[in-house]
Structure 1
Amino acid sequence: MQINFKKDILPHFLGILSFYLIVLLYFSPIVFEDKLMFQTDILQWEGSAKEILDHRETTGEQALWTNRMFGGMPAYLIHLQPKGDITNVLTTLFTLGLPHPINALFFGMAAMYVLLISFKIRSEISVAGAWVFAFNTFNFLSLEAGHNAKIWAICIVPLIMAGIHLTFTGRRLIGIAITALAVMLQLKFNHLQITYYTLILVAVYGMGQLICFFNAKKLPEFIKIAALLLLAAFIGTAGNSARLISVLEYGKYSTRGERNLQDKEDSQAGLDRDYAFHWSQGKVESLTLLIPNFYGGASAQALPENSESEKALRAQGLEAGQVNEFIRGAPTYWGDQPGTGGPIYGGAIMVFLFVIGILFAPSAYRNIFLAMALVTLALSWGKNLAWFNYTLFDYLPGYNKFRAASMALGITLFAIPVLGCLGLENLMANINTRKSRQSFFTALGITVGLILLGMLIASWMGYRGAAEEMYPEWLREALRADRRKMLQSDAIRSLLFIALTAALIFAVMMQKTKNTWALIGISLLLLVDVWGVNRRYLDKDSFTYNPSQQYFAATPADQKIMADQNYFRVLNLQNPFNEARTSYRFNSIGGYHGAKMGRYQDLIERAINPEISQFVQKAQEGNFDYESIQVLNMLNTKYVMAGRGENAVFVNPMANGPAWFPAEITTVTSNEEEIAALTDLDTKTEATFNSQQTHIAVNPGSGQVQIENYQPGRLEYNAEVQQAGLAVFSEIYYPEGWRAFINGEETDILRVNYLLRGLMLPEGNTSIVLEFSPKGYLTASAIMVIFQYIIVILLGTSLFLTFKKGIP
């Protein structure tokens, strides 16, 4: 079949080119000036991954364990790049060399374009839908925060759905290949919550297709297609099996797995319900999809010059510096969430088109994508729709592993553009009918009515927020006045964009302009709309030269500790369990990760936090009571850091060291009994052992143990043992993958002191090796690479045959 370049190639080329140029233009400081975004979460990741990256640079090997965070944890939760893995090469190829993480936005546009084209939506509309999908504020706020994996996972969703849709609509080979590729890439970025939401989308789409095939009496055909897609999903999953198996294995032992302490009020597996739904979108707050500043914008947002708050502050006689400080970060947000970096805005024009889609899209696809939007919107409401979300949390398999319900809005903003573009396509195809005109004005009335209703609701609620409670009444009133002006300004802005879009569509109805010119105008309006709102939160001031160099620059406190080349851990008293800067250089008691080991979290809550609190209180009185921090001592906490100055570092002379022989062993029979015993234990001379884990006789020994060599996943010791018995190591116990060798012979690793490793050592001069080699990962990594090449071959073959047959 002959290919027409102007019809079959040029529109797609221009679309892809526009995606590339838009990313280049918006993020020009990154591309052309070598600047970077100051992404807090990425800086934290860099601190936590430093040991892993250094190990690879030095040895060429992937570190599977790191001691830099929370005493020690599997490294594949932080960074994993198995040998032979080609997914990085593929993402670089597919994004035309754009730098990470902005390449995700280009990929998202291209993926959405493929999906919309697969629905036979014309190129002009598909390009506009792709722009809006990638450039919504959810992605940009996530980008600013450093949630790069989340953005990538969301931007791959359209490609997964495109593969599935192509398979269902008769283009099976290319559909299966795209599905397998997209599943592999999404799993690469290891954001299982977004993958879970993707499965919900697939279920909704599949249900819609099942109804269609059932009504057409083609149920066997549906089963055949579903089987092929399951095969594609299996191939894609196998292409990332090493990552997936490792994460799923760890999940059982993390804070998202089974509880170890059954005396807690909620002993079920998974996250605590209050924690999981802490960030829940308010129902009314969903109007930010249409009016960005409906709820005041960000938790801390600059107010315009001569705002009511500025006038009120000046009237009270405050100094200019104090006024400016407040105005630069005013608490404008008054919604239900504890805080937000900004509103989730889908574009007023696209919401208008979404309403058009409800009225104009083909009924089967209207129902599918409307259901997707409504379900994910309901998920984002979290605790504000408790009957629905708590039921899912309690009964839907695996759903209780996830938190931040508002994240589901990222998926809502996938469904809205698809239905909007379907609606616009079908409106333009049938624009000259009387029914179309009536439905068009109905959609316009509904959208405008929503804006007016939102303004009425906000006025009735009085623009009151929890963040203002600390302020005097005169300042509260001023803040509320500013919030009202922000809402009104954005409401007028949204009305203007909708009016211009409606005017272009109406001009086509009146045959005053051609479809193509009207669609180009609508596309540009869409881009200007979302671009302008994004600039409020991610502008030229968001880029800087090498933020990590500034963030990780060695302080006098760091330099003092760095002078000690021995093996130890550091406790940073400044927000210890929510920072990874310490992990950049030292083995840290704290860290920064959303899925700590469950036993370590228990220890933090029951022992470490109380010890820190008591120690700090005594230290402030001049009494540095190191003997009282027995749990920190058993974790070999040699340094306590209270600031960045040299005099803010305190040496703990009571740290137990890398390993020791306790003189007394307390036998317990439950986790509750064991962790309770730690509060009164002299960890240097006593140890606890849960007799339920093994029938091995455990007796105290004596001698000395010295660490000889340390690597992230391998520790070597030499011991002089006077009396055979139990030696305790200040290493975190993890049951999957750690192996111990005494004088070359493998032996069992015991769990002692609730979460440390213990070994029964024989008398005499003893060499000890602790090595982390998880069998699941090692087996899966080889299989993974094979399936990655299978996917590449499958994709290449399908593309060749598709182009050979001709572009449909």
Structure 2
Amino acid sequence: MQVNFKQQVLPHLLGIVSFYVLIVLYFSPIVFDGKMIFQNDILQWEGSAKEMIDFREETGEEALWTNSMFGGMPAYLVNTEYPGDISRAVISAITLGLPHPINGLFFGMVGMYLLLLSFRVRPAISVMGAWAFAFNTFHMLSLEAGHNAKIWAICLIPLILAGINMAFNGKKLLGFAITALALMLQIRFNHLQITYYTLIVVLIYAIGQLAFYIKEKRLPEFGKIAGILIVGGLIAVGANANRLISVLEYGKYSIRGEKLLEASGENDAGLSKEYAFSWSQGKLESLTLLIPNFSGGASQEGLPDDSNAAEALQQNGVSGAQLTNFLQGAPTYWGDQPFTGGPIYGSVIMAFLFVIGILYAPKRFRNIFVAITVVSLMLAWGKNLAWFNYTLFDYLPGYNKFRAVSMALGITLFAVPVLGCIGLEHLYADQDKQKKTKALLLSIGIVGGFVLLLILLAGAFGYKGAADASFPGWLVDALREDRKAMLRKDALRSLAFIVPSALLVFLAIKGKVNYFYATLGIAILVVADVWTINKRYLNDDSLQKSPSKTYFTPTPADQKVMQDKGYFRVLNLQNTFKEARTSYRFQSVGGYHGAKMRRYQDLIDRVLQPEISQFVKKAQEGNFDYANLPALNMLNTKYILAGNSEKAVFQNPEANGPAWFPQEIIGVSSNEEEINKLSQLNTKTEATLNTNEFSAQPGAGTISLAHHQPNKLVYNVNASKAGLVVFSEIYYPEGWVAEINGEKTDILRTNYLLRGVSVPKGNAEVVFKFEPTAYYRGSFVAVSCQYFIILLLIAGLILPFTKFADYGRKG
């Protein structure tokens, strides 16, 4: 097979180069200066993962368990490497050495480019669609927040669908391999919510294709292709077998698993509706797809010195630094979400082309991508479309495990450029100039006219923000005027991008400008549009030389606690259960993770938070009532941090220590009864035990911790009376093994979520080891599937150029 380099290779090569160059230009301080994005979620991840990373570097082994947050939890969802896994090397190779996480955006462009090519869209338009997809604000805002896994998972959706579409276009082997590879990588990034949305996208695509194949009376062919792709999906799952087995096992015991306590009106498993739908986008807020500042931008957005708010503040005596600080982070956002980092926007030009797609794309693809767009918007509206989303939450398998439903907008920003580019391709290809002109005018009339209407009707919106209640009426009135001005200004900006784009399309279909140059001009306008909006939120100010070094520099409070080389936990009163800075150095009562263990979350809600609040209230009055902290004491909370200074460190003399003999065992018969007992318990002398599951007798003696690692603890016991020992360690029924003098013994659950062991009289050594079979199961399958996918991809790429392929075509 002969290859025409200029026509068959050069356009694609230039496209890939353009993707690389755009990433390098936008993120040049990262690529050339070694700077990093100040990502709060990633900094919290660093704090969470520090113990595991240190253990790996010191021993060459995986800890698999971490004691650094929430008293202790499996490490599967924080930082774990799997033996023989080649996916990291694959990612490094296919992203041409670009640093993480910006390499995900580059690969997202490659995937979108291949997807559009599979729909027979010419390279120039495909490049434009790839640019628009990668540089939408959803990705940039997610980058700033540190949602790197989410970005990668979304950026793999185009490649997954590209493989599927190739298979339906006759390239079964290559499509099979690409689908399996892309899905393998997406599952690897372990963002199950995006994978769930991906399955919805694939299902909508499959329904659209099924309708077409039934109409064409080619149902057996559809079944064959679908069967091949299902096998590819199963292989992708197999390539992550060890990850999935571990995560699924842990899921049963996390807050996404079965509820253990009474909770009227809520589902028995999964998240609560209130929690799951707390980030639901308002229906009107979706107009940010046309006008970035329709809802006021970010929760804290800068206002100019001549704004209405500035004038009102000055008239009421506010000046200097106070005025400047307010204007730099004004509460301009008036949407429905608790707060937001910025609007969801992917270029008004793409919205304009999307309408062209509705008018010009082939019917089956039009229906598919319109359906994907509509469904994703409905999902993102969450509680604002309760009849739909609450039904899914209650009945759709697994859907009640997810939260922050507004992230479904990432799917919207995927579907819009796909249909827009397909539509533009078919508009160009149509030979009927009059029909093309009519469709163009209708599209500009719909999108441009709607934007113009929003300018004229801007005064009809209320502009009421959640933050308004904390400001005086005169300031609220000024803010609402500023919000209205922001809407109008960005609406005019949107018109300024629609008009020249439409003009370029018009000149192209009239033969006045070459299609390529017209498309290039539109693509440059798209980049200018999204680039300038993104720079409002992710710019040079977002980058630092070493944010983690600055963030984790030890404070005087840290240094004081670090002098104690013992084994204990630390309670940080500052944002206790939403920060992992404490976990960077210490075993923390708190932490930062979206899938805490169910029993620990119950403890937080029912016991720890009331206990902490009561302690703080008394401490402010000068009464440090450490004895009245039964739950914190049983967690061996030796230090309480109330700030960063040395004087803000308070040592708790009542902490129970690593292990102890309770004098009395209180039998309970339910989880509800047990957790209610905790706040009344003297945890030093009393312990609860669910007698329906466990049995033990009180003992007596002494016990000390001799050795500790994240996955192994060794205790020396001297028991004057055989009986129960309670350990200040979190009970987890999978993987922990207890041995007394080398012989296995049962681990009991006591005090709702701690470990207990019955020890014999006399001297003994008690050893806890974490050896989860879930981690080791599936390793051979995973590695085998990974190599099989790579070999299939190589075969799919090479076979078309071999004589065997030519022979097959002749036959």
Fold in common (TM above 0.5): yes
Counterpart-to-counterpart distance in 1, 2:683 and 2:462: 57
Instruction: Write out per-residue CA displacement over residues 159-181 of structure 1, whole angstroms, 9 at most, x where no aligned residue.
Output: 11111111111100001101111
Counterpart-to-counterpart distance in 2, 1:447 and 1:267: 42
Kept after mapping to 2: 8 A contact 1:289/1:344: yes
Please state whether the residue corresponding to 1:721 is helix, strand or coil.
strand
Kept after mapping to 2: 8 A contact 1:256/1:595: yes
Kept after mapping to 1: 8 A contact 2:433/2:510: no
Counterpart-to-counterpart distance in 1, 2:48 and 2:497: 45
* 1:169-184 mapped onto 2 (5 Å cutoff): 169-184=169-184
Please state whether the residue corresponding to 1:297 is helix, strand or coil.
coil
Counterpart-to-counterpart distance in 2, 1:698 and 1:627: 26
* 1:172-211 mapped onto 2 (5 Å cutoff): 172-211=172-211
Counterpart-to-counterpart distance in 1, 2:71 and 2:801: 55
Please state whether the residue corresponding to 2:292 is helix, strand or coil.
coil
Residue in structure 1 matching 2:793, options 771, 795, 805: 795
Could you say if the C-alpha distance between residues 2 and 267 of structure 1 is closer, same or farther in structure 2, counting changes exceeding 3 Å? closer
Question: Any gaps of 5 or more consecutive residues in structure 2?
Answer: none
Residue 335 (structure 1) aligned with residue 335 (structure 2): yes
Please state whether the residue corresponding to 1:624 is helix, strand or coil.
coil
The letter for the 2-side match of 1:751 is R
Please state whether the residue corresponding to 2:612 is helix, strand or coil.
helix
The letter for the 2-side match of 1:702 is A
Residue 226 (structure 1) aligned with residue 226 (structure 2): yes
Compute the displacement of 1:456 (Å). 4.9
Counterpart-to-counterpart distance in 1, 2:518 and 2:763: 85
Q: State the partner residue of 1:45.
A: 45
Counterpart-to-counterpart distance in 2, 1:665 and 1:457: 70
Kept after mapping to 2: 8 A contact 1:20/1:106: yes
Q: State the partner residue of 1:554.
A: 554
Could you say if the C-alpha distance between residues 264 and 655 of structure 1 is closer, same or farther in structure 2, counting changes exceeding 3 Å? farther
* 1:406-805 mapped onto 2 (5 Å cutoff): 406-430=406-430, 432-456=432-456, 458-694=458-694, 697-804=695-802, 805=805
Counterpart-to-counterpart distance in 1, 2:242 and 2:593: 20
Compute the displacement of 1:693 (Å). 1.7
Residue 96 (structure 1) aligned with residue 96 (structure 2): yes
Compute the displacement of 1:450 (Å). 2.2
Counterpart-to-counterpart distance in 1, 2:340 and 2:244: 31
Counterpart-to-counterpart distance in 1, 2:744 and 2:491: 70
Kept after mapping to 2: 8 A contact 1:135/1:530: yes
The letter for the 2-side match of 1:797 is A
Counterpart-to-counterpart distance in 2, 1:171 and 1:686: 69
Instruction: Write out per-residue CA displacement over residues 698-725 of structure 1, whole angstroms, 9 at most, x where no aligned residue.
Output: 1011111111111111111111111111
Counterpart-to-counterpart distance in 2, 1:457 and 1:200: 36
Q: State the partner residue of 2:153.
A: 153
Counterpart-to-counterpart distance in 1, 2:800 and 2:137: 36
The letter for the 2-side match of 1:713 is N
Question: Any gaps of 5 or more consecutive residues in structure 1?
Answer: none
Compute the displacement of 1:265 (Å). 4.2
Compute the displacement of 1:491 (Å). 0.7
Please state whether the residue corresponding to 1:97 is helix, strand or coil.
coil
Counterpart-to-counterpart distance in 2, 1:783 and 1:773: 20
Please state whether the residue corresponding to 1:614 is helix, strand or coil.
helix
Kept after mapping to 2: 8 A contact 1:674/1:688: yes
Please state whether the residue corresponding to 2:590 is helix, strand or coil.
coil
Kept after mapping to 1: 8 A contact 2:716/2:763: yes
Instruction: Write out per-residue CA displacement over residues 96-137 of structure 1, whole angstroms, 9 at most, x where no aligned residue.
Output: 000001111001001111111111110000000000101000
| C-alpha RMSD of the superposition | 1.3
Counterpart-to-counterpart distance in 2, 1:569 and 1:360: 63
TM-score, with length taken from structure 1: 0.98
Please state whether the residue corresponding to 1:591 is helix, strand or coil.
coil
Kept after mapping to 2: 8 A contact 1:174/1:802: no
Please state whether the residue corresponding to 2:738 is helix, strand or coil.
strand
Please state whether the residue corresponding to 1:294 is helix, strand or coil.
helix
Instruction: Write out per-residue CA displacement over residues 480-526 of structure 1, whole angstroms, 9 at most, x where no aligned residue.
Output: 22112211111111111110011001111222111111111111111
Kept after mapping to 1: 8 A contact 2:310/2:327: yes
Counterpart-to-counterpart distance in 2, 1:406 and 1:455: 26
Counterpart-to-counterpart distance in 1, 2:635 and 2:472: 47
Kept after mapping to 1: 8 A contact 2:722/2:759: yes
Please state whether the residue corresponding to 1:367 is helix, strand or coil.
helix
Kept after mapping to 2: 8 A contact 1:355/1:443: yes
The letter for the 1-side match of 2:612 is I
Compute the displacement of 1:431 (Å). 5.5
Compute the displacement of 1:308 (Å). 1.7
Could you say if the C-alpha distance between residues 263 and 10 of structure 1 is closer, same or farther in structure 2, counting changes exceeding 3 Å? closer
Instruction: Write out per-residue CA displacement over residues 410-455 of structure 1, whole angstroms, 9 at most, x where no aligned residue.
Output: 1111100100000010011115432222111111111112213433
Please state whether the residue corresponding to 1:469 is helix, strand or coil.
helix
* 1:356-395 mapped onto 2 (5 Å cutoff): 356-395=356-395
Counterpart-to-counterpart distance in 1, 2:458 and 2:592: 37
Compute the displacement of 1:472 (Å). 2.0
Could you say if the C-alpha distance between residues 216 and 527 of structure 1 is closer, same or farther in structure 2, counting changes exceeding 3 Å? same
The letter for the 2-side match of 1:301 is E
Identity score, percent: 61
Could you say if the C-alpha distance between residues 709 and 243 of structure 1 is closer, same or farther in structure 2, counting changes exceeding 3 Å? same
Instruction: Write out per-residue CA displacement over residues 767-798 of structure 1, whole angstroms, 9 at most, x where no aligned residue.
Output: 11111111122112332122111111111111
Please state whether the residue corresponding to 2:305 is helix, strand or coil.
coil
Compute the displacement of 1:139 (Å). 0.3
Counterpart-to-counterpart distance in 1, 2:556 and 2:478: 44
Please state whether the residue corresponding to 1:6 is helix, strand or coil.
helix
The letter for the 2-side match of 1:34 is G
Please state whether the residue corresponding to 2:713 is helix, strand or coil.
strand
Counterpart-to-counterpart distance in 1, 2:312 and 2:116: 51
Kept after mapping to 2: 8 A contact 1:356/1:440: yes
Kept after mapping to 2: 8 A contact 1:508/1:518: yes
Compute the displacement of 1:462 (Å). 3.1
Counterpart-to-counterpart distance in 2, 1:522 and 1:437: 17
Kept after mapping to 2: 8 A contact 1:263/1:672: no
Kept after mapping to 1: 8 A contact 2:458/2:488: no
Please state whether the residue corresponding to 2:703 is helix, strand or coil.
strand
TM-score, with length taken from structure 2: 0.98
Compute the displacement of 1:457 (Å). 5.2
Kept after mapping to 2: 8 A contact 1:287/1:454: no
Kept after mapping to 1: 8 A contact 2:39/2:144: yes
Residue 34 (structure 1) aligned with residue 6 (structure 2): no
Counterpart-to-counterpart distance in 1, 2:455 and 2:28: 37
Compute the displacement of 1:317 (Å). 2.4
Deviates more, 1:683-692 or 1:315-324: 315-324
Compute the displacement of 1:465 (Å). 2.0
Kept after mapping to 2: 8 A contact 1:431/1:437: no
Q: State the partner residue of 1:287.
A: 287
Kept after mapping to 2: 8 A contact 1:662/1:726: yes
Kept after mapping to 1: 8 A contact 2:664/2:686: yes
Compute the displacement of 1:612 (Å). 0.5
Instruction: Write out per-residue CA displacement over residues 328-383 of structure 1, whole angstroms, 9 at most, x where no aligned residue.
Output: 00111111111110000021000000010000000000000110000001100001
Instruction: Write out per-residue CA displacement over residues 173-230 of structure 1, whole angstroms, 9 at most, x where no aligned residue.
Output: 0011011111110011110000000000011011111111111122122121111111
Instruction: Write out per-residue CA displacement over residues 296-341 of structure 1, whole angstroms, 9 at most, x where no aligned residue.
Output: 1111011123112112212222222111111100111111111110
The letter for the 2-side match of 1:249 is E
Counterpart-to-counterpart distance in 1, 2:467 and 2:634: 42
